[in-house]
């Protein structure tokens, strides 16, 4: 019993040795889901303006509590400012949604994109988290981004800068690093990485991730690395390429692979393998 008490005391003291945040992640994630439903009226109750306003009031108060948990001063003032900013965030998201409807032949309706596209959901979370990040809110933006990551497989750091009409198709495996800069009308596919050439703590304040200019398309599983790497306006980057140097505007970059097709009769070796 004494050993157990001693062990517990040591654990307790270790935990108190650093500054603590008591963010309730489940409440923050639930708040995020409700903001999405409220912002795009995906729930029937939001069609009544009085109920819409009542929901806004509830969401504001919930945000105030969450902000206090991450040590934001003047949480009431910040919460009001955040909701005023949602008009602009909503406008940006409508551009993102339109880009999907215009470009993806599989997208049949606005409702389909809102309710089923992981790429759009992740962009929604990014634009919320980016606002919080730019306004020096600690921890919460990363928690929201990682929540979206866990749901969609898309990892967008809230510190990245992303322009209007951004489209992520399919999405699984996409990684966009903290200092990446992405222009307007950029489209990327699953498995794309906009990453750093190397990871070391002394480069934390440097631009470590690439710049993607306007109207670029990056196909599946392309890897683009480095803070000095720029993909020029209008370039098309093919699938499975590995890029660590800048690419001029209007370039077409693709990975050339060789595929050999023979008849079984010509190929007389027995293919025998096991997995």
pLDDT tens-digit readout, 144-173? 999 999 999 999 999 999 999 999 999 999
- Asked whether the predicted pLDDT for residue 234 surpasses 80, the reply is yes
Q: What is the pLDDT of residue 275?
A: 47
Pair 114, 97: CB distance under 8 Å: yes
Instruction: Give the residue, 194 or 273, on which the prediction is more confident.
Output: 194
pTM of the predicted model, to two decimals?
A: 0.89
Q: What phi and psi, each to the nearest 5 degrees, are found at residue 236?
A: -120, 120
- In the chain, which residue ranges form alpha helices assigned H by DSSP? 2-16, 25-39, 49-69, 75-103, 110-116, 118-134, 140-152
Q: What is the pLDDT of residue 17?
A: 75
Q: What phi and psi, each to the nearest 5 degrees, are found at residue 55?
A: -65, -40
Q: What is the pLDDT of residue 54?
A: 93
- Beta pairing partners, 194: 176, 224
Q: Which of 66-80, 103-117, 191-205 has the lowest mean pLDDT?
A: 191-205
Quote the mean pLDDT of the chain: 91
Q: Which pLDDT band, with edges at 50, 70 and 90, does 203 fall under? A: confident
- Asked whether the predicted pLDDT for residue 14 surpasses 50, the reply is yes
Sheet bearing 161-162, strands edge to edge: 161-162, 181-182, 211-212, 230-231
- Taking the CA atoms of residue 48, residue 54, residue 56 and residue 57 in that order, the dihedral angle to the nearest 10 degrees is 170
Q: Which of 19-28, 34-43, 104-113, 239-248 has the lowest mean pLDDT?
A: 19-28
Count Cα atoms within 13 angstroms, Cβ side, for 39. Answer: 28
Sheet bearing 155-156, strands edge to edge: 155-156, 175-176, 193-195, 223-225, 242-243
């Amino acid at each position: 019993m004494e050993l157990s008490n001693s062990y517990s005391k040591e654990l307790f003291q270790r935990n108190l040795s650093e500054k603590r945040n008591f963010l309730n992640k489940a409440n923050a994630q639930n708040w995020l889901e409700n903001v999405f439903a409220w912002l795009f009226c995906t729930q029937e109750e939001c069609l009544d303006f009085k109920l819409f306003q009542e929901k806004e009031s509830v969401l504001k108060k919930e945000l105030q509590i969450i902000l206090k948990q991450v040590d934001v001063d003047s949480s009431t003032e910040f919460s009001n400012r955040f909701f005023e900013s949602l008009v602009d965030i909503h406008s940006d998201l409508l551009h993102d949604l339109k880009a999907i409807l215009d470009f993806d032949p599989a997208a049949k309706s606005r409702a389909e994109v809102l309710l089923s596209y992981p790429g759009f959901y992740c962009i929604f979370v990014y634009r919320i988290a980016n606002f919080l990040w730019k306004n020096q809110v600690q921890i919460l933006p990363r928690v929201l981004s990682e929540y979206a990551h866990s749901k969609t497989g898309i990892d967008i750091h809230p510190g990245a800068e992303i322009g209007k009409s951004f489209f992520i198709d399919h999405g699984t495996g996409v990684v966009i690093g903290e200092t990446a800069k992405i222009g307007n009308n950029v489209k990327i596919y699953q498995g794309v990485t906009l990453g750093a050439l190397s990871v070391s703590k002394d480069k934390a304040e440097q631009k470590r991730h690439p710049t993607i200019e306007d109207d670029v398309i990056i196909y599946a599983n392309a890897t683009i690395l480095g803070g000095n790497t720029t993909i020029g306006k209008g370039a098309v980057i093919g699938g499975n390429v590995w890029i660590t140097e800048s690419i001029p505007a209007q370039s077409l970059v693709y990975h050339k692979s060789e595929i050999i097709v023979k008849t079984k009769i010509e190929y007389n070796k027995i293919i025998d393998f096991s997995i």
